[in-house]
């Protein structure tokens, strides 16, 4: 970068010190050089087109892959309406990692917007016109699918609760393969070496593709770049003897099989990602159920149809055990994503505080029942002793009620935090 800036400054200074005649001569020289390059580039481009047609007359895999993406987009109304694309095959961690591994494949062909569909399909077709004709349809399709699968695995690891869809990772793999395959062709000065004019056209579509996909959650964010090394690896295999012929089917099969084996190994640690939302909803349901049961019993207590001790027994035998069972269930859960760990901590804190508040409430009720029973003055008890005993029981009951109310407020505050929408991970 420093050298480029220095060269630019030197050029500006040199241009300023030149005479008018010298400047005209420089411009004429540049014009002649560009004309020579253009004419030479036209000849290279014609030679390149002829070599492509001789190697593979028409690409088949690229149009088929692009057509499949278009067909799914047209068939899936949810994709066009901006709704979730999970029902149409997109990858979602708790589903994909719990047996629906086929989503790593189908997600490659699911686009979440018409603009992404147009850009991605255009990139696939352009790459097919060049890369598929050089390496053949089987290797092109294998690179596309395998790069897409590795991109999906990276998305599963980075954004386990995100919905990842789109062929961006697969297309990055194709660009990686094109880069690797082009090197031996250029070194051997093969007619299949991509000329500068063709590179400029490829670069224009590549720039649009990169700008449209890199910031996009639909493509899995930066995880899509995981397709690039997968494409480079397959490109190294395809580069062997590519100047003379396309890779033989057996070599394509071996390379694809080895890559899929690596993908399986990478997928093993990602198994069993848990969607905590149903668990949170279950805890909220337990709170509503136990609160409703207590309210009904408390109404009977206030009407004098139930004693304080009976109400305390309902808390200890029905309400607290349900909360303890919910807490025990949380302890058995595995595969909680890192982004949901704080919510699970809030859930455990709520259950602990809520159980404590109910325990204190039952204790307060039993003290209330004891105060009621102690309201009758025993025989032989002096006035002073009776008043002191009643006052002590009343103060103890107030303190117990205050502790129960404080614990209840703390537990409900934890419940409010628990019900807040989970923050989206950075992508």
* The last residue of a domain, from among 270, 301, 321: 270
Could you please report the per-residue DSSP string of 136-176? Answer: -HHHHHHHHHHHHHHHHHHHHHH-TTSEE-SSHHHHHHHHH
Please give the C-alpha separations between residue 260 and each of 59, 166, 255, in angstroms, as whole numbers. 24, 19, 9
pTM: 0.74
Mean pLDDT by 10 residues, the chain (427 residues): 46 58 61 48 70 80 93 70 72 92 94 87 92 91 95 90 89 94 82 78 88 61 84 90 84 93 93 89 89 87 83 87 90 86 87 85 73 50 51 54 71 77 49
Domain at 245, CATH number:
1.20.1540.10
Domain count of the fold of the chain: 2
CB 120 within 8 A of CB 171: yes
Is residue 112 in a domain? yes
Number of Cα atoms under 13 Å in the Cβ half of residue 24: 3
Is residue 403 in a domain? yes
Q: What is the rounded distance in angstroms from the CA atom of residue 426 to the CA atom of residue 223?
A: 12
Is residue 203 in a domain? yes
**Residue 214, domain extent:** 21-270
* The last residue of a domain, from among 227, 248, 270: 270
Residue 327 and residue 261 share a domain: no
């Amino acid at each position: 970068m420093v050298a480029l800036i220095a060269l630019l400054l030197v050029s500006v200074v040199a241009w300023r010190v030149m005479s008018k005649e010298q400047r005209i001569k420089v411009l004429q020289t540049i014009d002649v050089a560009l004309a020579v390059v253009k004419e030479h580039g036209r000849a290279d481009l014609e030679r390149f087109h002829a070599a492509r047609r001789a190697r593979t007359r028409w690409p088949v895999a690229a149009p088929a892959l692009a057509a499949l993406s278009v067909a799914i987009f047209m068939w899936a109304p949810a994709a066009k309406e901006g709704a979730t694309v999970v029902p149409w095959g997109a990858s979602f961690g708790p589903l994909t990692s719990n047996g629906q591994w086929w989503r790593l494949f189908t997600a490659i062909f699911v686009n979440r917007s018409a603009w992404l569909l147009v850009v991605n399909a255009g990139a696939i077709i352009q790459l097919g016109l060049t890369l598929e004709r050089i390496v053949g349809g089987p290797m092109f399709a294998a690179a596309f699918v395998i790069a897409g699968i590795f991109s999906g695995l990276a998305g599963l690891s980075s954004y386990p609760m995100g919905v990842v869809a789109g062929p961006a990772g697969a297309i990055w793999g194709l660009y990686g393969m094109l880069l690797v395959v082009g090197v031996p062709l250029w070194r051997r000065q093969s007619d299949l070496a991509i000329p500068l004019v063709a590179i400029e056209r490829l670069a224009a579509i590549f720039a649009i593709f990169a700008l449209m996909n890199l910031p996009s959650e639909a493509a899995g964010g930066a995880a899509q770049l995981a397709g690039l090394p997968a494409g480079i690896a397959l490109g190294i295999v395809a580069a062997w003897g590519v100047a003379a012929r396309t890779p033989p089917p057996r070599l394509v099969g071996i390379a694809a099989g080895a890559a899929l084996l690596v993908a399986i190994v990478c997928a093993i640690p990602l198994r069993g990602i848990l969607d905590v939302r149903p668990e949170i909803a279950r805890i909220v349901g337990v709170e509503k159920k136990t609160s409703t049961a207590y309210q009904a019993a408390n109404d009977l207590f206030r009407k004098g149809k139930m004693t304080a001790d009976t109400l305390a027994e309902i808390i200890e035998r029905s309400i607290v055990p349900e909360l303890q069972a919910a807490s025990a269930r949380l302890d058995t859960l595995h595969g909680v994503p890192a982004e949901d760990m704080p919510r699970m901590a809030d859930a455990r804190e709520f259950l602990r505080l809520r159980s404590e508040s109910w325990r204190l409430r039952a204790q307060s009720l039993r003290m209330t029942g004891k105060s009621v029973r102690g309201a009758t003055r025993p025989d032989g008890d002096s006035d002073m002793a009776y008043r002191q005993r009643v006052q002590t029981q009343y103060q103890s009951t107030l303190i117990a009620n205050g502790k129960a109310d404080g614990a209840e407020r703390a537990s409900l505050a934890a419940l409010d935090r628990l019900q807040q929408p989970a923050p989206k991970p950075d992508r």
